[in-house]
Amino acid sequence: MEDVSDMQIFGPRELVRDIHDQDLCVACGACVELCPYFKAHRGKIAMLFPCDLSPGRCHAFCPKAEVDLDGLALHFWKKQYEGDSLGHYLKIVTARSGRKAQGAGFQAGGTVSSIISFSLKEGLIDAAVLTDRDGFIPVPRVVTHPDEVASCASSKYTATPTLSAFHRAVRNGYSRIGVVGTPCQTIALAQMRMNPLQREDFSDPIALTVGLFCTWALDTRTFIEFLSQRLEPDAVRKMDIPPPPAEKMVLQTEEENIEVPLSRIRPLVPKGCLLCPDMTAEWADISVGVLENDPERNTVLIRTERGMELVERAVKKRFLEIGPMPEENREHLAVAASNKRRRGLRKALEEGLLNTEGDARACLRLNAETLKKILV
């Protein structure tokens, strides 16, 4: 099987040509704030000045450029990528914030905010990278105090350059960072943790990754344009996409709840999202989503030993309450996650961006046996 050092890494020119210019960028922020050249503005990422560096971290970290799923699986799970619907995990539970956790305005059970505030309070992390809002625009943020966590609660269903704040946190000297991100962002973080450029001075600054389940995120700019025809986007206090069969997004303002059919906004999903094979953030320590039929609780996949230890401590200290995951819910989640994986890989294959040969660039690479199993 391929070793990590066989990953194909190019530079910023290739990143712009193969990803940005092909509309494959999902604005995760992995290439922003590493250097003075890549900048994010209102949900779009652009290179301001030419740069000839090769190989570059911007390309190595990008979750759409030459992602080697077998290399990741070998590095983190010590095995070939097997494409299981929910990814590798140790335990699946339901959860919600416990009595000791503070805050309100959570998206669902507040599990994510509670895990992060607990980790800061206990000194398990020295900074957290979260996603706040300025009006309707999502804003990456570095927080260092548990009391700041709740202000970033709730889901912004738009593509967000959250990882730019991660690079800022590293630059500012934080060395035990907790990051909350969508699946594409957790892929980028996993690639960073592999030290793809084999830097001798590398030490892994990531102490915790909390992944969010995600089917897609909308393009920020076009979604704002879409909403502006109906309401003042800055008036939106909360967004929610209730589980199927609702097929709608609900936007809450002070005065009313506005419902938008998903069929109207799906065309605003960036092309890069459509190639994504991961719904449950499989490269995170802990992955969190909503729980079908219970808007006050979350589904939680605990994937690593450090994730397990953290959840057990948070439960003991009453920051988190957990319960058993009903088998029926687990089955529904597994179906939704395998559907997304199959759709994403089919789309990548159709676009000629999967397991390419010769000089052609791929978005994704994985072993033929697993690919065949998923596509059946």
Binding track, positions 100-119, relative to ligand FAD; x by CB under 6 A? ------xxxxxxxx------
d(CA 274, CA 216): 8
Q: CA dihedral defined by 68, 71, 72, 78, rounded to 10 degrees? A: 150
The residue whose two tokens read 């105090």 is 145
DSSP code per residue over 23-85: T-----STTTTSSSSEEEETTEEEE-S----SS-HHHHH-TTSSEEHHHHHHHHHSS-----T
**In the complex, minimum distance from the CB of residue 290 to ligand FAD, in angstroms, rounded to a whole number:** 4
83 binds ligand FAD (CB under 6 A): no
Q: Exactly one of 154, 191, 304, 370 binds ligand FAD (CB under 6 A); which one? A: 154
**In the complex, minimum distance from the CB of residue 173 to ligand FAD, in angstroms, rounded to a whole number:** 22
d(CA 353, CA 209): 27
d(CA 51, CA 62): 16
Q: Which residues pair with 298 in a beta bridge?
A: 95, 290
Selected range binding ligand FAD among 31-39, 211-219, 246-254, 354-362, rule: CB under 6 A: 211-219
For ligand FAD, the binding residues in 280-339 under the rule CB under 6 A are: 288-290, 298
For ligand FAD, the closer of residues 51 and 311 by Cβ is 311
d(CA 186, CA 124): 19
Q: How many CB atoms lie within 10 A of CB 302?
A: 23
For ligand FAD, the binding residues in 124-143 under the rule CB under 6 A are: 130-131, 138
Q: Exactly one of 10, 38, 118, 157 binds ligand FAD (CB under 6 A); which one? A: 157
What is the size of the binding site for ligand FAD (CB under 6 A)? Answer: 32
212 binds ligand FAD (CB under 6 A): yes
In angstroms, the first-to-last Cα distance of the chain is 23
152 binds ligand FAD (CB under 6 A): yes
For ligand FAD, the closer of residues 71 and 138 by Cβ is 138
Using CB under 6 A, list all residues that contact ligand FAD: 106-113, 130-131, 138, 152-158, 160, 162, 180-182, 212-215, 217, 288-290, 298
